[in-house]
Amino acid sequence: MLVQILDADYVMLENKPLLRIYGKTEKGDSACVFYSGFMPYFYVDEVPEWLKKDPQVFSIEPVERVYPMFYRTDKMKLFKVTIHDPSRTPELRDKVIEGGGTAYEADILFKYRFMADAGIGSLMWLDIKGASSANTSTVRTKTKFEVKGINIMDKVANSDFRSLALDIECVAENQGEVPTAERDPIIMISLVFSEEYNGKKEMVISYRPGSNVQSYNDENGMLKGLIDIINDFDPDFIVGYNINNFDLPYIIERMQRLKIPAMFTRATDKSAWTKKLAMGYRNNVLGRIIADPFALIKKDFSFKRYSLENVASELLGEHKEDVKYSEMEKLWKGDQKGYDRLVSYCLTDARLAMRLFGEFNLLDKYIGISRICCLFLQDVLDGGETQRIEHYLMREFNRNGYIFPLKPSQEEMAERDNQRKVGLKGGFVLDPEPGMHENVAVMDFKSMYPSLIRTYNICPTTLVGPDGPKFTEDEISKSPEGGSFVKPEIRKGIVPYILENLMNERANVKKRLKKATKDGNAAEVRELNTKQLGIKIMANAFYGHMGYPRARIYNMDVANAITSWGRQTIQKTKDIIEKDYGYKVIYGDTDSVMVELDKVFDNKKIAEVGNKISEEITKNLPGIMELEFEKIFKRFLPLAKKRYAAWAFIPKGGGEWVEKIDMKGIETVRRDWCDLSSETLRNVIDIILKENDRERAVQYFQNIAKSLGEGNIPMDKLVVTKTLTKRPESYPGVQPHAEVAKKMTQRNPADAPSVGDRISYVIVKGTQLLSYRAEDPEYVTEKGLHLDSIYYMENQLLPPVERIFEALNVTKSELMGKGKQMNLFSMMGKQASKKAKPEIPVADIIGFSCEECGRPYRRPTLTGYCECGGKILFSSAKGNADVVKNPS
DNA sequence: GAGGTCCGGGG
DNA sequence: GTGTACGGACCTC
């Protein structure tokens, strides 16, 4: 029988661990295979007397292993300690360490210890020889098997996975608070199935009857009903928007509170669990995978906001039902029509989560990584890069006779942190040549760091150590700033070996991908693309790992060797291009060089030159290092290191080009900018790059400024929105959105914003501090208030574009039109503020503002004058102002 | 530019 | 479960 594996655990049976591997059969049924006979073990360097007598110990045998740090030919004499119960390992390990001994591989999860030794990895298909063991009641999978033998199959296509999307609703006891599981019940749960369940694709369960609602007596009954439905439908994926940090912990905590065992895992003897960590929750449902579109989309898409409403409208063009938190209780307790709305709201959220999950292949990348690093999908989703790399490394090191060290202790990490501050240098970043450049060929090194590792055989196991064997110059490669490494003839390093395999495998997969694409085999294209992506991500992670203070095999000399060879490579490349070819390298960062080709204006010609230079340079590069022509910057405007805008043309093959605007380090979307800021910035960049007409760009900007001054910009382009994260009165400083919330509460207590609500605001004219002049846009419309165009000019419009214009030598005053017939401020009209100025008690002074234009300042300017020429005055909370007598 | 702080999604 | 434990945007020095 073939099983694709998703998860594993173990239980103790007659003082021996029994492994349970969960997966799917070819038919798409859930399956569990039982494996007994594998025992937990770890290594120690010496065997204390107490350990020999410990009843946990099954056997102790001497072994020889190679320590993975520094080139060495000697083997360590160690002892392999095999015990009965995996869960007892930590205490034995800690006791050994306390006694002054050293332990190895004593912090590897039992399931992963087994898989590593058996050569099994996540999502592999296993051919199971054995006997069906349907009589076991400890798991609830459709198929159960006792293993006699396992064969690893070559099959890559995934089984048919089954998903369940869910969304819960709950109402807080006190209006305006976020509900908590300790106190507030779940009132309703919507469920959306990836395939029909009892003839339905979706359902809503609750304990208030309604049309299309499956009703229970109470919350208790509803939650038990939920457990039954999950087990009955038996999903592989449990999906929900922010399910990781809200729905699932809430459900589990609620069940704990109501003394309902959370028995919806694939084992009958283990409940689902949730644990609160520093920042959020960690959840586990054994045998199933929890997938949160919120978490996944946040990593792979760039949006200003990641609310379900926002994401669904961006990605699906769909919207949530319009229900405010403040009306939920009313709907839950009110008439049937309102209740129906609540039901529909709940259902929509689960539907949207399911669509996002399914239509955007959100898991593909993680499936690819999981396949390569061998960790289960859930661990890849929840864990970081370190775990992936280390698991992979341990398997490879073990296979080659190396022992793998424990995770570093707190003290060790602190020590490394100090070391690192002194030592680790990064990539080489050239100072960009200022000003606009045209016809730039962009070349970069193909997988620079992995290639350097392979070229120079960089690895902890090839690093020449202080006490190890000595070598002649010919036998080693000496890095510019870092360690020396023995050449592959003496020993090939494990990391270079791993990278060689990964890179060859990826080339192979890409070849097959090309063919599958040509054949139009969509399923295979997806599989192969997933795989090459997984390999790429893994291969690029090795470099960073070795310079990471929390890594098990960390070494500064290794990390520094890689970056210093990188810097040397890029520097030499720059020199050759400038000396031998006579072109100017105007910018470069880590693995790329940008070369300005004078008097070459045709894309085809630029590509020819770029390709020629790359090829010729590559011929003289050591090892497998390869420079390649990547794209053209028709125009390139650097602002600073790591910040630029460019009009790029990327070769698509067959003489075709993809055109786009490349931006690095320039934020066009920021939470505290209104739409007008982003829009103006984008358009200014567009005009500058595509038309190369700075006059027109300035003019465009001035036109926007003029419309702003004349009040012709629609208000929705000037709105800034922020979330109220606490009660408005508990904000330490004055913040615009909190002030607006206070005003809204005062005006209409029934419609007071509550914690978690999004508050939109605009800034109106006046002399008070900015935050006090923040207003609800609806109120502004209603009362016909005027917006503060000076504020928008100075704080929203100018800052983003200023740096762009600066790079083109357009000064701020030129931009503002100063010195010309009419400056922008006069164009926009001055803000009158010369009114009576009573004395202000010092305690009331909260800031400063300009006498002429009313612009607020947190402290007076050095000159005591505003940019518009007006004097800076004190301003009080009440909006009065007085002349600053001594602005120092 | 480095170092510290805030905050997210969900109801 | 032989486990942990963010990351980007923003602000100040």
What residue ranges in A518-583 does DSSP mark as E strands?
Answer: none
Distances (CA, A) of A274 to A322, A765, A857: 31, 50, 48
Distance A732 CA to B3 C1' (A): 22
Distance A737 CA to C1 C1' (A): 44
Of all nucleotides, the one whose C1′ comes closest to residue A282's CA is: C4
Of all nucleotides, the one whose C1′ comes closest to residue A382's CA is: C4
Q: How far apart are CA A363 and CA A122, in angstroms?
A: 14
What per-residue confidence (pLDDT) applies to A849?
A: 56
Burial of A662 (0-12, 13-18, 19+ CB in 10 A): middle
What per-residue confidence (pLDDT) applies to A850?
A: 57
Q: Residues near A539 by Cβ (< 8 Å), separated by ≥ 6?
A: A447, A450, A499, A502, A503, A506
Lookup: tokens for A754: 């509550």
Cβ A92 vs Cβ A54: under 8 Å = yes
Distance A730 CA to B6 C1' (A): 15
pLDDT tens digits, residue range A316-375?
A: 999 999 898 888 999 999 999 999 999 999 999 999 999 999 999 999 999 999 999 999
Q: Give A85 or A786, the one with higher predicted confidence.
A: A85
- pLDDT band of residue A870 (cuts 50, 70, 90) is low
Cβ A42 vs Cβ A104: under 8 Å = yes
Q: Give A160 or A796, the one with higher predicted confidence.
A: A160
Single-letter amino acid code for the residue at A47: V
Cβ A384 vs Cβ A279: under 8 Å = no
Phi-psi region of A297 (alpha: psi -120 to 50; beta: other; left: phi over 0): alpha
Q: Dump the DSSP string for A73-117.
A: ---EEEEEEEES-GGGHHHHHHHHHHTT--EES-SS-HHHHHHHH
Interval A824-835 mean pLDDT: 39
Distance A697 CA to C10 C1' (A): 29
With 50 as the cut, is the pLDDT of residue A65 above it? yes
Query: Which of these, A565, A560, A549, A548, lies nearest to A482 by C-alpha position?
Result: A560
- pLDDT band of residue A858 (cuts 50, 70, 90) is very low
Q: Which residue has the closest alpha carbon to C3 C1'?
A: A109
Q: Dump the DSSP string for A269-309.
A: T---EEEE-SSSEEEE-TTSEEE-HHHHHHHH---S---HH
Sheet holding A758-763, edge to edge: A720-723, A758-763, A774-775
With 70 as the cut, is the pLDDT of residue A760 above it? yes
Nucleotides of B under 7 A from a protein CB: 1, 3, 6-11
Q: Is the CB of A754 under 7 A from strand C?
A: no
pLDDT tens digits, residue range A564-579?
A: 999 999 999 999 999 9
pLDDT tens digits, residue range A226-277?
A: 999 999 999 999 999 999 999 999 999 999 999 999 999 999 999 999 998 8
Q: How far apart are CA A662 and CA A683, in angstroms?
A: 14
Q: Looking up tokens 């009589």, which residue turns up?
A: A135
- Helix A219-233 to helix A248-257 angle, to the nearest 10 degrees? 130
Distance A771 CA to C8 C1' (A): 25
What per-residue confidence (pLDDT) applies to A786?
A: 86
SS3 of A412-436: HHHHHHHHHHHHCCCCCECCCCCCC
In window 244-283 of A, residues with CB < 7 A from nucleic chain C are 273, 277-279, 282
What is the H or E stretch that residue A326 is in?
A: helix A325-333
Select the highest-mean-pLDDT range: A124-138, A477-491, A730-744. Answer: A477-491
Select the highest-mean-pLDDT range: A290-299, A740-749, A862-871. Answer: A290-299
Q: Looking up tokens 């067959």, which residue turns up?
A: A654
A774 forms bridges with which residues in the sheet? A763
Residue A34 phi/psi, 5° resolution?
-100, 135
Of all nucleotides, the one whose C1′ comes closest to residue A246's CA is: B10
Interval A743-765 mean pLDDT: 78
Distance A184 CA to C12 C1' (A): 41
Q: How far apart are CA A858 and CA A850, in angstroms?
A: 11
- Helix A556-580 to helix A448-455 angle, to the nearest 10 degrees? 100
Strand B interface, protein residues by Cβ within 7 Å: A 167-172, 176-179, 241-242, 245-246, 279, 294, 305-309, 325, 328, 349, 421, 640-641, 722-723, 725-726, 754-757
What residue ranges in A114-251 does DSSP mark as E strands?
Answer: 125-132, 143-152, 163-170, 186-197, 200-206, 213-215, 237-239
Q: How far apart are CA A283 and CA A777, in angstroms?
A: 41
A206 forms bridges with which residues in the sheet? A188, A215
Q: How far apart are CA A667 and CA A680, in angstroms?
A: 12
pLDDT tens digits, residue range A416-454?
A: 776 665 566 778 888 888 889 999 999 999 999 999 999
Cβ A499 vs Cβ A542: under 8 Å = yes
Q: Is the CB of A672 under 7 A from strand C?
A: yes
Q: Which residue has the closest alpha carbon to C4 C1'?
A: A277
What is the H or E stretch that residue A873 is in?
A: strand A872-876
Q: Is the CB of A842 under 7 A from strand C?
A: no
SS3 of A354-371: HHHHHHCCCCHHHHHHHH
Q: Which residue has the closest alpha carbon to B6 C1'?
A: A725
Q: What value does the mean pLDDT of chain A take? A: 86
What is the H or E stretch that residue A686 is in?
A: helix A675-686
Phi-psi region of A668 (alpha: psi -120 to 50; beta: other; left: phi over 0): alpha
Q: How far apart are CA A268 and CA A271, in angstroms?
A: 8
What per-residue confidence (pLDDT) applies to A825?
A: 47
Residue A149 phi/psi, 5° resolution?
-155, 150
Distance A154 CA to B6 C1' (A): 49
**Residue A619 CB neighbour total at 10 angstroms:** 8
Residue A756 phi/psi, 5° resolution?
100, -15
Q: Residues near A231 by Cβ (< 8 Å), separated by ≥ 6?
A: A140, A263, A264
Cβ A298 vs Cβ A264: under 8 Å = no
Q: How far apart are CA A512 and CA A676, in angstroms?
A: 47
Cβ A305 vs Cβ A364: under 8 Å = no
What per-residue confidence (pLDDT) applies to A598?
A: 78
Of all nucleotides, the one whose C1′ comes closest to residue A640's CA is: B1
Helices (H) and strands (E) in chain A, counts: 26, 32
Single-letter amino acid code for the residue at A35: Y
What per-residue confidence (pLDDT) applies to A788?
A: 84
Q: Is the CB of A87 under 7 A from strand C?
A: yes
Interval A538-544 mean pLDDT: 88
Cβ A106 vs Cβ A394: under 8 Å = no
Q: Is the CB of A548 under 7 A from strand C?
A: no
Q: Is the CB of A111 under 7 A from strand C?
A: yes
Of all nucleotides, the one whose C1′ comes closest to residue A345's CA is: B11
Distances (CA, A) of A208 to A169, A170, A190, A230: 13, 13, 14, 21
With 60 as the cut, is the pLDDT of residue A559 above it? yes
Lookup: tokens for A617: 């340079």
**Residue A467 CB neighbour total at 10 angstroms:** 6
Of all nucleotides, the one whose C1′ comes closest to residue A114's CA is: C2
Q: Is the CB of A692 under 7 A from strand C?
A: no
Q: Is the CB of A407 under 7 A from strand C?
A: yes
- pLDDT band of residue A88 (cuts 50, 70, 90) is very high
Select the highest-mean-pLDDT range: A314-323, A749-758, A823-832. Answer: A314-323
Query: Which of these, A116, A105, A115, lies nearest to A82 by C-alpha position?
Result: A105
Share of chain A above pLDDT 70, in %: 89
Single-letter amino acid code for the residue at A397: F
Q: Which residue has the closest alpha carbon to B1 C1'?
A: A641
Nucleotides of C under 7 A from a protein CB: 1-7, 9-11
- pLDDT band of residue A803 (cuts 50, 70, 90) is confident
pLDDT tens digits, residue range A696-729?
A: 999 998 898 888 888 888 888 888 877 777 777 7
Of all nucleotides, the one whose C1′ comes closest to residue A113's CA is: C2
In b/e form, how buried is each residue of A514-531, taking b as 16+ CB within 10 angstroms? Answer: eebeeeeeeebbbbbbbb
Q: How far apart are CA A50 and CA A99, in angstroms?
A: 10
Q: How far apart are CA A405 and CA A670, in angstroms?
A: 44
Q: Is the CB of A106 under 7 A from strand C?
A: yes
Q: Looking up tokens 């109402």, which residue turns up?
A: A171
pTM above 0.95? Answer: no
